[in-house]
Structure 1
Amino acid sequence: MSNLQDIVVREMKVKPEIESKLETKQIIHFIKSYVQSHSFVQALILGISGGQDSTLAGKLCQMAAEELREEGNPCKFIAVKLPYGEQKDATEVEDALSYIQPDEIITVNIKPAVDQSVQSLKDAGITLTDFQKGNEKARERMKVQFSIASNKKGIVVGTDHSAENITGFYTKYGDGAADIAPLFGLNKRQGKQLLKYLDAPKHLYEKVPTADLEEDKPQLPDEEALGVSYNDIDDYLEGKSVPSDAKSTIENHYIKTAHKRELAYTRYTWPKN
């Protein structure tokens, strides 16, 4: 491994391989431990997109909530559907929900709020690009989840995993914002491995990953947007050798998106010159 790869692997906490039963148990324990350590928490809130990450996080949250209730804690899992108008992959969302069997489902159409925000900015002389509007969608979805969490005395669960974190492939203060991120430490293939272990429908964990935020590029695959395959990203995170062009792309993403992995600086935490 190069020096930078060694640093990144340690930071991202990805193991060369995982044992499915143990990994599942450890993630559920983490979720339960957080809930038990915060007496105000009565619900776990998560937006379900129909993709691999939210399906896995949702299933683990539901399992954790059921164990908590068996132990006398009233915590429940609330799955949130957050379409922008008519969602193209709505069928996969319903399939994911059928698999997860959440305690409660809430649907909020974010289109009116996003469109009004975009129009208000335009009225002020700020015309957003399609890409920037995509970020508006991601932030509106997370805003809704935090509003539900406040109303339901809950916390927001994020779907960020290490293959996403290393590339910064998320919206800052959008899908990158959450109270807990139970999938961190997993890469993409390990998430798929856990879904197989948990008997998820095959088409959900084999679905082509896409953020689907840009209207000019609907259903744009993550790998096309990133310019590198998840297989190469996963190999890199497991400490394996990858082609030089893939290595360069991954490390450039990591360096350029460092700000997304940092909290807001104060004058006391910013490095002195």
Structure 2
Amino acid sequence: MTTTNGFNAKAVNDYIVNWLKDYATNAKVNGFVVGISGGIDSAVTSALCAQTGLPTLCVEMPIHQAQSHVQRAQEHIAMLKEKYPNVSGTEANLTPVFEAFREVVPQSDDEHLSNLTLANTRARLRMTTLYYFAGINRALVAGTGNKVEDFGVGFYTKYGDGGVDISPIADLMKSEVRAIGSYIGVPQSILAAKPTDGLFGDDRSDEDQLGASYDELEWAMHEDEKGSTREQFEGRQKEVFNIYKRLNRANQHKMNPIPVCEIPAELK
């Protein structure tokens, strides 16, 4: 299957599956653990892991989750289990854990800041949970971030969904993830769903938070890689390019290695 822009979904799918299998074999682990959100990225990542034939554990981790997200996640896991005997699923309901955490920490007077910090806390609780399951199963945590999120606008939580062992789809644009999802038969309910991180307990989409769609951000990322400047654009294109550049600049702390204070040799 080749998309209109020349993207060969089958070839890329097979390449990633082989890469995953080789990496796990060399790391001497049993398989993979993937957090399932009901979105396209986690659906594609889990399906790629499943195709390796290695044990793949799909973990639901609801925290006051919208029922539509839960239903999509369950539909996808059921489809994978039916198709691949190496796939299993489990649920860790983190709502009481999240509420217990919220009870023992102070709340900020800044409601926006408090809500944002608690949203990131949800992602970090899920990361901890995935690593627990990975530990008891001698498995790798497979990340679900795509290229625009991970290296474009930094739309993920540091040490939350950004805390993983391997990133199978991090070199794929969102449109390419969708193409693979269509190729491997991800449920239509997931393919058609608006992308959302599900961290705020409401129906806000990624686009609502970012101010631009993934298609627009892909365009901006391509233009930025070509060396384009904001002066070259006008109207909506200029607005989107500015959004991309602002988020890319603000989130460099996520994309770059942790700064290390290197002590001069004469001081040691």
Query: Shorter-chain TM-score category?
Result: 0.7 to 0.9
Match among 136, 155, 163 for residue 169 of structure 1: 155
Q: Could you tell me which amino acid in structure 2 is paired with residue 79 of structure 1?
A: C
Select between 94-103 and 20-29 the one with higher mean Cα deviation. 94-103
Counterpart of 1:180 in structure 2 is 166
Counterparts of 1:39-188 in structure 2, within 5 Å, are 39=28, 41-64=29-52, 66=53, 75-85=54-64, 87-88=66-67, 89-101=69-81, 103-122=87-106, 129-165=114-150, 166-188=152-174
Deviation at 1:25, TM superposition (A): 1.0
Select between 29-38 and 124-133 the one with higher mean Cα deviation. 124-133
SS in 2 for 1:122: coil
User: Aligned partners of 2:204, 2:90: CA distance in 1, in Å?
Assistant: 27
RMSD of aligned residue pairs (Cα, Å) = 2.4
User: Aligned partners of 2:108, 2:75: CA distance in 1, in Å?
Assistant: 41
User: Aligned partners of 1:203, 1:47: CA distance in 2, in Å?
Assistant: 18
Deviation at 1:123, TM superposition (A): 8.8
Deviations 1:59-106 (A, max 9, x none): 001001x1xxxxxxxx30000010114542211111111232262112
Deviations 1:174-200 (A, max 9, x none): 011100010011111111111111122
Counterpart of 2:260 in structure 1 is 266
SS in 1 for 2:106: helix
SS in 2 for 1:246: helix
Match among 223, 226, 250 for residue 244 of structure 2: 250
Q: Could you tell me which amino acid in structure 2 is paired with residue 94 of structure 1?
A: Q
Contact 1:45 1:156 in 2 (8 A): yes
Contact 1:161 1:185 in 2 (8 A): yes
CA 1:261–1:123: 2 relative to 1, 3 Å: closer
Structure 1 stretches lacking a partner, 5+ long? 1-15, 67-74
Deviations 1:8-35 (A, max 9, x none): xxxxxxxx75211111011111111110
Counterpart of 1:221 in structure 2 is 205
Contact 1:160 1:183 in 2 (8 A): yes
Counterpart of 1:9 in structure 2 is none
TM-score, normalised to structure 2, is 0.84
SS in 2 for 1:146: helix
Contact 1:45 1:80 in 2 (8 A): yes
1:30 aligns with 2:15: no
Select between 137-146 and 159-168 the one with higher mean Cα deviation. 159-168
Contact 1:168 1:253 in 2 (8 A): yes
SS in 2 for 1:253: helix
Higher RCO (C-alpha under 8 Å, 6+ residues apart):
1
TM-score, normalised to structure 1, is 0.82
User: Aligned partners of 2:89, 2:65: CA distance in 1, in Å?
Assistant: 17
Counterpart of 1:11 in structure 2 is none
Contact 2:108 2:114 in 1 (8 A): no
Deviation at 1:167, TM superposition (A): 0.9
Deviation at 1:150, TM superposition (A): 0.8
Contact 1:167 1:250 in 2 (8 A): yes
Deviation at 1:122, TM superposition (A): 2.3
Select between 232-241 and 244-253 the one with higher mean Cα deviation. 232-241
Match among 198, 206, 213 for residue 192 of structure 2: 206
Q: Could you tell me which amino acid in structure 2 is paired with residue 256 of structure 1?
A: A
